[in-house]
């Protein structure tokens, strides 16, 4: 039996085919792109001055430390009361009556002059600690009688919640009024 003839086997072409052209032919070797002249070799760098940088950092830290220390010292000095300022002279007064029980308390004070009555009132209220409603009367030490005093000023002070309830003021608040036309010492 005869075998039918076999088709020829495929073999690669002997010459390369250039794609995109109609003619097969030898391919031209591609030329490398033109980048320009080759760069010069890198220059040798000078050694860095590390000692100068370290000294600069140390100097900056020292200056920063002193700036912070001076700022803290100035802030602390501002908080201290000035010792060289003379204290305000406290006007002379005498407490002649003071209730020490109850929610409503009366404090009667006598003075010899009409000067600084508000300062007298503040000094009296600063000395009151118990929670209560205080009513402060400031009288002249002269010019009054047994039945009628020579009243120079009246004030209220609300110490704590109970003081607020009794006086009608907010807690810790004060109310102060002078009586116009009064003189001390009496004429």
Residue 30 lies in a domain: no
Residue 151 lies in a domain: yes
Q: Read out DSSP for 138-182?
A: EEESSS--SSS--EEEEEEEEEHHHHHHHHSSPTT-EEEEE-TT-
Residue 40 lies in a domain: no
Residue 149 lies in a domain: yes
Residue 21 lies in a domain: no
Q: What is the pLDDT of residues 130-187, one digit of tens each?
A: 899 999 999 988 877 777 778 889 999 999 999 999 899 999 899 999 988 888 876 6
Q: Find tokens 């792109």 and name the residue.
A: 33
Q: Is the pTM of this model over 0.75?
A: no
Residue 143 lies in a domain: yes
Q: For the chain, what's the residue count?
A: 187
- The number of distinct structural domains making up the chain is 1
Q: What is the pLDDT of residues 91-102, one digit of tens each?
A: 788 888 888 899
Residue 142 lies in a domain: yes
Q: What is the pLDDT of residues 58-83, one digit of tens each?
A: 999 999 998 888 888 877 766 555 55
Domain span including residue 159: 93-178
Residue 54 lies in a domain: no
Contact assessment for residue 124 and residue 95, using Cβ atoms and an 8 Å cutoff: yes
């Amino acid at each position: 039996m005869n075998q039918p003839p076999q088709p020829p086997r495929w073999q690669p072409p002997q010459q390369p085919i250039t794609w995109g052209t109609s003619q097969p032919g030898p391919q031209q070797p591609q030329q490398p792109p033109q980048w320009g002249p080759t760069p010069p070799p890198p220059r040798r760098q000078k050694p860095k001055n590390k000692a100068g940088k370290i000294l600069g950092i140390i100097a900056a830290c020292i200056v920063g430390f002193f700036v912070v220390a001076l700022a803290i010292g100035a802030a602390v000095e501002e908080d201290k009361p000035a010792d060289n300022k003379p204290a305000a002279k406290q006007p002379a007064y005498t407490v002649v009556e003071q209730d020490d029980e109850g929610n409503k308390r009366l404090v009667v004070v006598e003075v010899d002059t009409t000067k600084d009555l508000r300062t007298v009132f503040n000094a009296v209220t600063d000395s009151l600690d118990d929670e209560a409603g205080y009513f402060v009367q400031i009288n002249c030490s002269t010019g009054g009688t047994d039945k009628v005093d020579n009243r120079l000023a009246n004030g209220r002070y609300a110490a704590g919640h109970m003081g607020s309830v009794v006086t009608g003021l907010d807690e810790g608040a004060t109310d102060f009024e002078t009586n116009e036309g009064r003189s001390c010492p009496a004429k």
